[in-house]
Structure 1
Amino acid sequence: MPPSPSTRSQAAAPPLRDRGDACPGALRLHQAADGHLARIRLPAGDLTVRQASALADVADLLGDGHLSLTSRGNAELRGLAEDCGGRLAALLRDAGLLPSERHERIRNILASPLAGLDRHTPSDVRRWARELDALLCASESATALSGRFLFVLDDGRGDVAAFGGDVSLLAEPGADGNGDEEAGADGNGDGEPGADGNGDRTGPAAGALLRVGDDPAALRIAGPDVPRAALAAAEAFLTAAAASGSGAWRVRELPDGHGLTARDVAEALRSAGIEAAYVAEPPTPGARTSPPYAPSYAPPYADSATPGIVEGPDGDRALSVLAPLGRLSVAQWRLLTTIADADGSGALRLTPWRGIVLPGLPAATASDRLTELTAAGLITDPASPWHRLGACTGRPGCAKSRTDVRADATAAVAAGTTVPDEAPTASPPLGLPVYWSGCERRCGHPHGTWVDVLATAEGYRVALVEPDTAPTGAPTSAHTAAPPPPAQ
């Protein structure tokens, strides 16, 4: 039977935090059932070929020979020895992946993966992400942010705007309304890629709309001020959190009477010398034909979560692939790195859909390279049953999991479905993500509407989760499949 209808529950009161968050990092390792885990923050998911190669080496030398991709476009190493921290840090530092040890866990910057790669999209969010990262790493006050605080920079297509950022920025198009200005991503007008080698080729945005938490209002910020405004908004949150005494890790956790709104941030921006215009009803991300987007800004946009070939300006192509259940072997990772180095722009972009984008390939080789990646076991076809299918770590890697959800999900795919039910009608609504979780924490679950496959003591429960459904709440009506094996 299909997933049951979702139910909406009362919003929970904000928690009171009496300690810092326990999010793992590159220096703070987490002890898991399969060894220690390190999470490497990659702002905007950006990696050079050299950095990607270094991660492969680390996974081979110190880890279990695999890399995991997270829902924030970061990378995780598993199976690490308890005493490898010093050697791990040295390898990451040499590769430029630890620009500031005191800030490494707070470099949570998510950006539209295809910005500047497909037609008519401003690439500025990638540059803004790099500038914001530099500002974060230079800020003493920013060290007080939690490892869960999230910056989101959307290029205007709306692909990452709904990812629940604490500070979210939505790029607005340039003067001609479609982002087609002739200046290159480096702002020098020559139409060439920026100096970082990311292959950005489209023109600049006029600026961005800044939002904090769930406040529907926004602030219009001029392009050159966007990175500074994002940092100032985060600092305003820290001030509000300190005044509330709640120890809040995120904007949504601020208690009533101490919340942070766009108007509050506007005052902080003015104090920092940043102009901001209040916008009570900002446009919906992705609504290309609504002001301020001109009708000419309405061509189809590539779906950042869809695998395949992305057509870009000047005959360039980008390859977008997904990792089955978010895990890659070192061999798969090295193949991606080789293609990026030989045919691409020398860069890789990790996506929050546990995928990888390779920018800057010539049209003549893109198809053959995609075939190579298919043969290597990566997801390259939107029709693949692995597309939009995810799972938490499960057993044996996580002691809290009730079962090996990855093995069970793999068995379901082999049986021709993506949910744990023998009935031929057991299929999720078309196009929705399906996520298998070994316990109620549902680590790494999707955003928005998704199909929840939860292992319980009685069996798997399948239900539809919608934006206002509490992820940790048990649905009042759900389908129960065969029970998973007992926890060991």
Structure 2
Amino acid sequence: MVRAREDDACPGALQTHRAADGELARIRLPGGMITAGQLGAIASAAIEFGSPELELTSRGNIQIRAVRDTVAVADRLAAAGLLPSASHERVRNIVASPLSGRSGGQRDVRAVVTALDAALQREPALAALPGRFLFGVDDGRGDVSGLGADAGVHAVDETRFAITLSGRDTGVRIAWDDAVPTLLAIAGRFQVIRGKAWRVSELDDPTVLLDNAAAGPGWPARTRPPVGWITQDDGRVALGAAVPLGVLDAEVARLLAAVEAPLAVTPWRSVLLFDLDEGVADAALRVLAPMGLVFDEKSPWLSVSACTGSPGCAHTGTDVRAAATAAVHDPTDGHRHFVGCERACGSPAGGAVLVATGDGFRVRGAHP
């Protein structure tokens, strides 16, 4: 792919994007990890200074739309510890297995995520990475490797990682402790040679980024989040709540924060509440289920997603979310992502992409 420009316009919380409905602020959550206090701060900022509907993204981040006071929002986020680096805030793009360290997986990768985030912020040259460059940390269960991260690690056992490029196994294996420096080295090489490329997949030969790399197989793309009552390895409970079309009412976000438990936002537009005892989990489920969150793994809401569409986005005149909502009542096999234009924002790595034509939708196929 040939780009017309080297930089991209991916928004952050400081460099916002001017959308049809106002300024859009995107808050990066490395590994999707967020505290109850931080979620409460985002919800309050949205209610006071923007749209009261938060958006969960396909990279496990949160967006506030229609921001009326960008400085006030940034100050609120910084006070909550959500903006640790002004220079690197748009490049803190890390997806990770959200249940890692709590249920399943080869080994807990949360420490790798936090170390990678901290090290990334210490590299001045990497502040210029494209905002779309994505790191992936998979604990071996294969949930995020299928998302096609530009540079990733995939646990193969308790001591080794496989290195991935664009979600494909390179055949290179490294020790656990080498994960962070290896990922940063790949990102640094990409920054040097990328030209106008924004993603590793846009290079003629991605394997040049890593010695002894080969273009191996990838992992199947997952489109459905973990939902419902999940028993953790330590006997405590995690609750998985899918958020229909990724639109989370800020007042519901406040209720999630009120549980006062660690949380994660997943790349499948859902939220996980962790480390609950059974009594707290049962009470939280009774309060949250009537609020529109989905705890049923058989719900048709898990098989549809959508971009923002009209009126929030100027690139389409189609109410994409209304179309996706209507499709919930007409379930078919596989995942369907409804979009208003060829940009296909937020498309999952698997499933069908349906593009608005002005006279319905046409199927484009899986998002590349």
Paired residues of 1:145 and 1:238 also in contact (CA < 8 A): yes
| Correspondence for 1:445 among 326, 341, 347 | 347
Change (3 A) 1:437 1:280: closer
Change (3 A) 1:59 1:381: same
Q: TM-score, normalised by structure 2?
A: 0.93
Match of 1:314, SS?
Answer: coil
Do structure 1's residue 460 and structure 2's residue 364 form an aligned pair? Answer: no
Do structure 1's residue 154 and structure 2's residue 107 form an aligned pair? Answer: no
Do structure 1's residue 326 and structure 2's residue 271 form an aligned pair? Answer: no
**Cα distance in 2 for residues equivalent to 1:228 and 1:454:** 40
Q: Which moved more, 1:392-401 or 1:16-25?
A: 16-25
| Correspondence for 1:165 among 149, 163, 185 | 149
Paired residue total: 367
Do structure 1's residue 362 and structure 2's residue 266 form an aligned pair? Answer: no
Paired residues of 2:309 and 2:321 also in contact (CA < 8 A): yes
Equivalent runs, 1:232-311 vs 2, <5 Å: 232-241=185-194, 246-254=195-203, 256=204, 259-261=205-207, 264-266=209-211, 305-311=225-231
**Cα distance in 2 for residues equivalent to 1:403 and 1:285:** 33
Provide, for residues 76-133 of structure 1, a one-character-per-residue CA deviation record: whole Å limited to 9, x for no partner.
000112xx2222221111111111101000000000111112145411x221111000
Regions of 4+ moved over 4 Å: 278-286
| Correspondence for 2:71 among 64, 82, 86 | 86
Paired residues of 1:156 and 1:171 also in contact (CA < 8 A): yes
**Cα distance in 2 for residues equivalent to 1:132 and 1:238:** 17
Paired residues of 1:153 and 1:169 also in contact (CA < 8 A): yes
**Cα distance in 1 for residues equivalent to 2:187 and 2:215:** 22
- CA positional deviation for 1:25: 0.7
Paired residues of 1:156 and 1:285 also in contact (CA < 8 A): no
Paired residues of 1:394 and 1:404 also in contact (CA < 8 A): yes
- CA positional deviation for 1:308: 0.6
**Cα distance in 2 for residues equivalent to 1:113 and 1:120:** 10
- CA positional deviation for 1:358: 0.7
Do structure 1's residue 230 and structure 2's residue 183 form an aligned pair? Answer: yes
**Cα distance in 2 for residues equivalent to 1:364 and 1:383:** 24
Paired residues of 1:317 and 1:360 also in contact (CA < 8 A): yes
**Cα distance in 1 for residues equivalent to 2:215 and 2:307:** 37
**Cα distance in 2 for residues equivalent to 1:49 and 1:137:** 24
Change (3 A) 1:215 1:374: closer
In structure 2, the partner of 1:112 is 97
In structure 1, the partner of 2:7 is 20
In structure 2, the partner of 1:299 is none
Q: Quick check: which one's helix share is greater?
A: 2
**Cα distance in 2 for residues equivalent to 1:392 and 1:149:** 20
In structure 2, the partner of 1:402 is 317
Provide, for residues 199-254 of structure 1, a one-character-per-residue CA deviation record: whole Å limited to 9, x for no partner.
xxxxxxx131112236542321111221121111111112222xxxx322221222
**Cα distance in 1 for residues equivalent to 2:327 and 2:214:** 47
In structure 1, the partner of 2:266 is 351
Provide, for residues 298-351 of structure 1, a one-character-per-residue CA deviation record: whole Å limited to 9, x for no partner.
xxxx99713111111221111111111101111110111112x1xxxx311000
Paired residues of 2:354 and 2:365 also in contact (CA < 8 A): no
Paired residues of 2:17 and 2:25 also in contact (CA < 8 A): yes
Change (3 A) 1:101 1:68: same
- CA positional deviation for 1:19: 3.4
Change (3 A) 1:404 1:367: same
Do structure 1's residue 380 and structure 2's residue 295 form an aligned pair? Answer: yes
Do structure 1's residue 139 and structure 2's residue 139 form an aligned pair? Answer: no
Do structure 1's residue 52 and structure 2's residue 39 form an aligned pair? Answer: yes
Change (3 A) 1:16 1:65: closer
| Correspondence for 1:436 among 332, 335, 338 | 338
**Cα distance in 1 for residues equivalent to 2:219 and 2:320:** 34
**Which amino acid in 1 is paired with 2:210?**
V
Q: Which moved more, 1:44-53 or 1:211-220?
A: 211-220
**Which amino acid in 1 is paired with 2:254?**
R
Change (3 A) 1:21 1:311: same
Paired residues of 2:224 and 2:302 also in contact (CA < 8 A): no
- CA positional deviation for 1:454: 2.1
Match of 1:162, SS?
Answer: helix
**Cα distance in 1 for residues equivalent to 2:135 and 2:224:** 18
Query: Which structure 2 segments of 5+ residues have no match?
Result: none
Query: Which structure 1 segments of 5+ residues have no match?
Result: 1-13, 175-205, 267-277, 287-301, 418-426, 472-488
Equivalent runs, 1:158-197 vs 2, <5 Å: 158-174=142-158
Paired residues of 1:43 and 1:133 also in contact (CA < 8 A): yes
**Cα distance in 2 for residues equivalent to 1:41 and 1:108:** 7
Match of 1:117, SS?
Answer: coil
Change (3 A) 1:143 1:375: same
Q: TM-score, normalised by structure 1?
A: 0.71
Change (3 A) 1:315 1:411: same
**Cα distance in 2 for residues equivalent to 1:74 and 1:112:** 14
Provide, for residues 183-210 of structure 1, a one-character-per-residue CA deviation record: whole Å limited to 9, x for no partner.
xxxxxxxxxxxxxxxxxxxxxxx13111
Provide, for residues 246-270 of structure 1, a one-character-per-residue CA deviation record: whole Å limited to 9, x for no partner.
322221222x3xx331x6423xxxx
Root-mean-square deviation (CA, aligned residues, Å) is 2.2
Do structure 1's residue 337 and structure 2's residue 269 form an aligned pair? Answer: no
